[in-house]
Chain A
Amino acid sequence: MQIPYTVQLRSDTGLFNAKLGVWLFLASEVMLFGALFSSYVLLRVGADHWPHGWEELNIPLATLNTVVLISSSVTMVMSWASLKMSNFKKYKLYMGLTILCALIFLVVKAFEYGHKFEIGHYPSYNTFLAIYFTLTGLHGLHVIGGIVLNTYLWGPGSYMWKTEPERFTNRVEVAGLYWHFVDLVWIFLFPVLYLL
């Protein structure tokens, strides 16, 4: 038994299954983060006192992380483009760089968290830190998920390139869509938490 349209595009929708699936998944993710951002707005509007992000958080480190994540999005596209041009070696390089950038992001984030914990600023300290840790923590989990996924596609999963190159390219494209979404969430998190 063969499921149709795992690789070919269905003519009336112009999509293969996984691409539609990941867009739907991302729609759901938008609702998840949308609800959390809405909560942030409501909590802040209703608070007597709300600290400015720059008073509490480290903007240079976050800026560095923003640059790192945007770079990883670029390398992610390059890795997919390399597969499209049938250059598997370049794919390995760019996908490796994507994973590396994601790891750098997490290390920097760990330093930020560590510093907060050192001075006793736990999530229970105030509602600003509570929502900061919740949002960035959930985003961090998404980054970890992306690392796991991309590492699989970089390592063991890449054997599919030899057997079903087209399907493998589709997988990288779909993983890329997810990864861009994770970046996009950070693009919203950075100004909302650090700059406003």
Chain B
Amino acid sequence: MDQLVATAPHDVGAHAHHEELGFWRKYIFSIDHKIIGLQYGISALLFLFFGFTLMMLMRWQLAHPNYPIPAMYFIVPIAVIGIVILLVSKFKPSLSMLVGLLFLGVAALVSYLTSGEDRMPGGIMLPEFYNQLGAMHGTIMVFLGVVPLAVGAFGNYVVPLQIGAPDMAFPKLNAASYWSYFVGGVVMLVSFFVPGGAANSGWTSYSPLANTATTGQTFWLIGMVFLITSSLLGSVNFITTIIQLRAKGMTFMRLPFFVWAQFVTSFLLLLAFPPLEAAGILQLMDRLAGTSFFLPSGLVVAGQPLQVSGGGHPILWQHLFWFLAHPEVYVLILPAMGILGEVIANNTRKPLWGYKSLVYAVIFLGFMSFIVWAHHMFLTGMGTVISAFFQTTTMIISIPSVIILTALIISLWGGSIRFTTPMLFALAFLPMFGIGGLTGLPLGLAPTDIHLHDTYYVIGHFHYVVAPGSLFALFAGIYYWYPKVTGRKMSDVMGKIHFWGSFVSINIVFLPMFIQGFAGVSRRLSDGAQQYAHAQSVLPWNEVMSIGAWVLGVFQIVFIFNFFWSLRRGETVNENPWQATTLEWSAAPTPPPHGNFIKVPEVYRGPYEYSVPGKSRDYTPQNEAD
């Protein structure tokens, strides 16, 4: 990625006063929104990779309970990836070299995790360790992977460019936001090395289980405080930037849909995360100061009455947690939908169908997401009246989701679709998110949820939303904006191999989960439900799903290779290779210099004026005057 410096235009006016910075100042201590976006992106992709590796270890245990794990099959490929990237970087200080070293770090971490008497004696995974992997897989994927990639990386890089701003409103806060995220991530990783290992109470960290858990739980809480601080700083910055720094003529109804999605997402982060911070503070007090916020009176643990004052409420934790964690679901999905809007409009060469309905739907969705949280808690005994309220709001919130999905599907109608790699991922998103959304309905209705709650059905449901949903859209975004960042396109052939391989294998991983869930296989079982007499007929799916997961992993190596290969060998592009209408393509150089635009752009039209009758080209950029 040191290429970025080499290909940056040096002759432009805005760039003239800007001397060449060394690696450390340019890439590490930067306050440029684009570099911070890259920092977020690279960190998040690495965390996604690590979280994915944890899952692949878990899938071994589920497919072959209590057989030793062939750890080398996991460690060696990761180490090889690292070494190849290092060789490609020629050991010059650059982001490539850093990423290569980090891959070696991941390999070392995985080899640490797959050894040790208190984790895997003789290579056989202990149930306690399986619990750690489960909790950390969820935490890492959600808080350190998808959200930082969707908001931190894409939001940071693209939003200022799309609204015609020179940078974020508060560049230093932006850097602080990244570094707070970084510290949070390090704290989470360090927790694997403390006595008792990492947090093992699930990513939901329910009390009283989490109150009595090992030290790793305290690390988890401290890590979360850093991550919450990071998203607080980020969301303040995004909202201020979008309200204050829009270029002349960029009215709210001319904002690209991606910016709208980020705007609403930022409000969710701003207002939903603090209650989790409050909950985290209370749980920390419980663990460190001996209070009983979440501990009821008369609690007996391991046959011993717990020596606490009591009088607390475990359900209180769940309310506070889900008050964040339901809006968090929309934090995962809205930026993805925003990316989809850009990619679909660009590749169908048509305006997005129902831009205004999309905008109103996304705002309504954001609002409703604050009053559906307790549909995660139907089985806590909170009462039928409250359940009825929350299942009603849950049904209402499905309306704007369906509006968004429908508008995107109708946008395809009559378009001359270009099947580029980003478009393939975007097209796959639509049915995959559809499955994820529709399978959510039985969970949102209290009577059916009683049967399905905490089964593999739930896991299948939310993974369909987040993995072939959000993550596919994020892949679309990477393929789509890569040329703007690097000046080169990613290889289309490898992109298509990556797409088809991932598309098939990811369905093999998640589709059988519905079958197992219906059969009553509970989640969080370290033996894959071997002990369940009623689940024996669906157990063979465990091996199928695991093989699907490993194949999925192999196809991600194609992506990693493509990512670095294209830095050197990808087809070089001009400013606007996709012939797009939005400002990041039509007004900014490739790659954009510090300050983004050579001449401050002015906006004359809406974001998706494709195939306007009477125009000579099939796209009319937003900054083109009549």
Contacts A31-B275, A32-B274, A32-B278 given; does A24 touch B289 at CB 8 Å: no
Q: List 5 A-B contacts (CB under 8 A).
A: A4-B245, A5-B169, A10-B244, A39-B293, A127-B291
B538 close to A (CB within 8 Å): no
Find B309's partner among A10, A39, A124 (CB 8 Å cutoff).
A124
A47 close to B (CB within 8 Å): yes
Partner-contacting stretch, out of A74-82, A106-114, A131-139, A175-183: A131-139
The answer to whether B292 and A5 have CB atoms under 8 Å apart is: no
Contacts A25-B236, A35-B275, A127-B309 given; does A43 touch B289 at CB 8 Å: no
Q: Kindly identify, within residues 264 to 304 of chain B, every residue whose CB is under 8 Å from any CB belonging to chain A.
A: 270-275, 277-279, 281-282, 285, 289-293
The answer to whether B236 and A1 have CB atoms under 8 Å apart is: no
A127 to B297 Cα, complex, angstroms: 11
Contacts A21-B237, A124-B308 given; does A138 touch B281 at CB 8 Å: yes
A17 close to B (CB within 8 Å): yes
Q: B595: which A residues are within 8 A, CB to CB?
A: 1
A33 to B309 Cα, complex, angstroms: 24
Residues 246-279 of chain B, each 1 if its beta carbon lies under 8 Å from chain A, else 0: 0000000000000000000000001111110111
The answer to whether B278 and A1 have CB atoms under 8 Å apart is: no
Q: A123: which B residues are within 8 A, CB to CB?
A: 285, 289-291
Residues 18-62 of chain A, each 1 if its beta carbon lies under 8 Å from chain B, else 0: 101100110111011111100100110011100000000000000
A144 close to B (CB within 8 Å): no
The answer to whether A29 and B274 have CB atoms under 8 Å apart is: yes
A13 close to B (CB within 8 Å): yes
- CB-based nearest B residue for A1: B595
Q: A42: which B residues are within 8 A, CB to CB?
A: 313, 316, 319
A3 close to B (CB within 8 Å): yes
Interchain nearest-CB distance for B462 vs A (Å)? 24
- CB-based nearest A residue for B167: A3
Find A24's partner among B171, B240, B319, B323 (CB 8 Å cutoff).
B240
A76 to B272 Cα, complex, angstroms: 31
B9 close to A (CB within 8 Å): no
- CB-based nearest A residue for B171: A3
Interchain nearest-CB distance for B164 vs A (Å)? 11
Find A13's partner among B244, B279, B312 (CB 8 Å cutoff).
B244
Q: B289: which A residues are within 8 A, CB to CB?
A: 122-124, 130, 133
Q: A124: which B residues are within 8 A, CB to CB?
A: 289-292, 308-309
A1 to B290 Cα, complex, angstroms: 52
A25 to B237 Cα, complex, angstroms: 10
Report, as a range, how many residues of chain B touch the other chain: 35 or more
Contacts A35-B274, A42-B316 given; does A134 touch B309 at CB 8 Å: no
Q: Kindly identify, within residues 564 to 597 of chain B, every residue whose CB is under 8 Å from any CB belonging to chain A.
A: 594-595
A5 to B166 Cα, complex, angstroms: 12
A15 close to B (CB within 8 Å): yes
Q: B312: which A residues are within 8 A, CB to CB?
A: 43, 127
Most B CB contacts (10 A, CB to CB) among A10, A20, A35 go to A35
Interchain nearest-CB distance for A40 vs B (Å)? 10
Nearest 5 CB-CB pairs, A to B?
Answer: A124-B290, A130-B291, A1-B595, A35-B275, A32-B274
Interface residues of A (CB under 8 A from B): 1-5, 10, 13, 15, 17-18, 20-21, 24-25, 27-29, 31-36, 39, 42-43, 46-48, 122-127, 130-131, 133-134, 138
Most B CB contacts (10 A, CB to CB) among A15, A43, A133 go to A43
Q: B270: which A residues are within 8 A, CB to CB?
A: 24, 27-28, 31
A33 to B277 Cα, complex, angstroms: 10
Q: A18: which B residues are within 8 A, CB to CB?
A: 170
Most B CB contacts (10 A, CB to CB) among A10, A33, A127, A131 go to A127
Interchain nearest-CB distance for B288 vs A (Å)? 9
Q: B594: which A residues are within 8 A, CB to CB?
A: 1
B14 close to A (CB within 8 Å): yes
B232 close to A (CB within 8 Å): yes
A10 to B274 Cα, complex, angstroms: 29
- CB-based nearest A residue for B270: A28
Q: A33: which B residues are within 8 A, CB to CB?
A: 278
Interchain nearest-CB distance for A82 vs B (Å)? 27
The answer to whether A20 and B14 have CB atoms under 8 Å apart is: no
A191 to B236 Cα, complex, angstroms: 31
B239 close to A (CB within 8 Å): yes
Find B313's partner among A1, A17, A35, A43 (CB 8 Å cutoff).
A43
Q: B293: which A residues are within 8 A, CB to CB?
A: 39, 43, 127, 130-131
Find A130's partner among B232, B277, B285 (CB 8 Å cutoff).
B285
Interchain nearest-CB distance for B444 vs A (Å)? 24
Most B CB contacts (10 A, CB to CB) among A18, A25, A32, A138 go to A32
B557 close to A (CB within 8 Å): no
Find B281's partner among A20, A28, A134 (CB 8 Å cutoff).
A134
Beyond contacts A15-B243, A15-B244, A133-B289: 8 other A-B pairs, Cβ-Cβ < 8 A, are A1-B595, A4-B245, A43-B316, A48-B311, A123-B290, A127-B311, A130-B291, A130-B309
- CB-based nearest A residue for B233: A25
A20 to B14 Cα, complex, angstroms: 28
Q: A28: which B residues are within 8 A, CB to CB?
A: 232, 235-236, 270-271, 273-274
The answer to whether A126 and B309 have CB atoms under 8 Å apart is: yes
The answer to whether B169 and A1 have CB atoms under 8 Å apart is: no
The answer to whether B292 and A27 have CB atoms under 8 Å apart is: no
Q: Kindly identify, within residues 125 to 178 of chain B, every residue whose CB is under 8 Å from any CB belonging to chain A.
A: 165-167, 169-171, 173
B443 close to A (CB within 8 Å): no
Q: B271: which A residues are within 8 A, CB to CB?
A: 27-28, 31
Interchain nearest-CB distance for A128 vs B (Å)? 9
A168 to B244 Cα, complex, angstroms: 20
Interchain nearest-CB distance for A2 vs B (Å)? 7
Q: Kindly identify, within residues 317 to 355 of chain B, every residue whose CB is under 8 Å from any CB belonging to chain A.
A: 319-320, 323
The answer to whether A39 and B278 have CB atoms under 8 Å apart is: yes
Q: A29: which B residues are within 8 A, CB to CB?
A: 274
A29 to B319 Cα, complex, angstroms: 18
Q: B239: which A residues are within 8 A, CB to CB?
A: 20, 24
Contacts A10-B244, A29-B274 given; does A21 touch B309 at CB 8 Å: no
